Structure 1
C-alpha cells in the first residue's frame, strides 16, 4: 500500500480465481479490456508503440477518453502503457504533460488462481497543481478496476 511519503506510485494487487490465460485474455485484448474498464475500444488492439484510444463509457465521464500508448506486451506475464492520469478536463491539453506508466503483471498462485498486480508510477512528474488529485483519484480507480476485472473474468470461460 501507499505511505504518506510515497506519492510517485500506486500499487494494487488482487488474486483472481481463474487461470492466468483467462486473466491475460481479459487484460491484453483491447476490446475486452474496454468492456470491464468502461471504454469503447472496439476494433482496436494493444500493440507495442501504438496508441489505443476510445471514449469512456462510464456514466458522467462520457466526455473523457481512454488514451494510452502501449509500451510492452509479454504474453501472459506483462502489459504496460503510458497515459495521462485523471485527464478529465476537455479544455486541458494533457499532451503537454509527462505521462505516467502503468504496468500489469500476472503470476500463478496455488489453486489455479492468478495474482494480478498493477503499478502506476510517475506521479511526481505530473504538474503540481493537479498531482495530488490525480494520485488520489487513480488510487481509488485502480482499486475499483481490479474488482471490475475480477468480476468480469469470473463470468468468462
Structure 2
C-alpha cells in the first residue's frame, strides 16, 4: 500500500488563472462541486457541503495549512473517503492535500498530493485510498476544464 495519491495535469491556462481557481473558495467550489461557507485562510477551518449530485448531504470540512501565492495551496480534511458512517460519526485521521503549480510551456503543470493514508486503519484505509484516487482523477479534469474555459 502507499501513503499518498499523486495526480498531475497540464492545464492550458496561465498560473494566475489556475491559482485563482484554487484559492478563491467560490471558484474552487464551482469545479470541485462543493459550497464552501468562507474564504480560505491559513489556520482557519472551512465548512460547507458537497454539491456533487448524489452527495449533497455530505458536509465539507477542511483546515487551511498553506497559501503560498502562485505556487502552493494546502489543506487538511477528514479521511472519510465518502463513507456514510465515517462522515456521520467523524474520524480522527486527517489527510493533507497539497496543490503545487509550476509554469509550463503550455500553461501550468498542476500536481495534487494527498497524503497521510498510513494513519487510517484497515479496512477503511483501502476504501479511502480507492475512493479518493478515483475522486482526484475526476477533480483534476474538472479544474482543467474550469481553468481552460
TM range (shorter): over 0.9
Partner of 2:77: 83
Q: CA RMSD in A?
A: 1.2
How does the TM-score come out when normalised to structure 2? 0.93
Any conservation in 2 of the 1:78–1:103 contact (CA below 8 Å)?
A: yes
Distance in 1 separating the partners of 2:18 and 2:119: 31
Structure 1 residues 33-72: aligned runs within 5 Å: 33-42=28-37, 44-72=38-66
Cα distance in structure 1, aligned partners of 2:75 and 2:25: 12
Q: Say how many residue pairs are matched.
A: 146
- Decide which of 8, 25, 40 is 1:13's aligned counterpart: 8
* Residue equivalent to 1:105: 100
Of 17, 24, 31 in structure 2, the residue corresponding to residue 29 of structure 1 is: 24
Distance in structure 1 (CA, Å) of the matches to 2:102 and 2:90: 37
Runs of 4+ more than 6 Å apart: none
> Structure 2: which 5+ runs fail to align?
none
Instruction: In structure 1, list runs of 5 or more residues that go unmatched.
Output: none
SS in 1 for 2:88: coil
The answer (yes or no) to whether the contact 2:82–2:131 under 8 Å persists in 1 is no
User: SS at the partner of 2:97?
Assistant: strand
1:73 aligns with 2:67: yes
Cα deviation, residue 129, structure 1: 2.7
Q: Does 1:126 align with 2:123?
A: no
Alpha-carbon distance in 2 for matches of 1:46, 1:76: 15
TM-score (normalizing by structure 1)? 0.89
Please tell me whether the aligned partners of residues 31 and 146 of structure 2 are also in contact (alpha carbons under 8 angstroms).
yes
Displacement, 1:63?
A: 1.4
CA distance in 2 between partners of 1:91 and 1:82 (Å): 18
Contact kept? 1:64, 1:88, Cα under 8 Å:
no
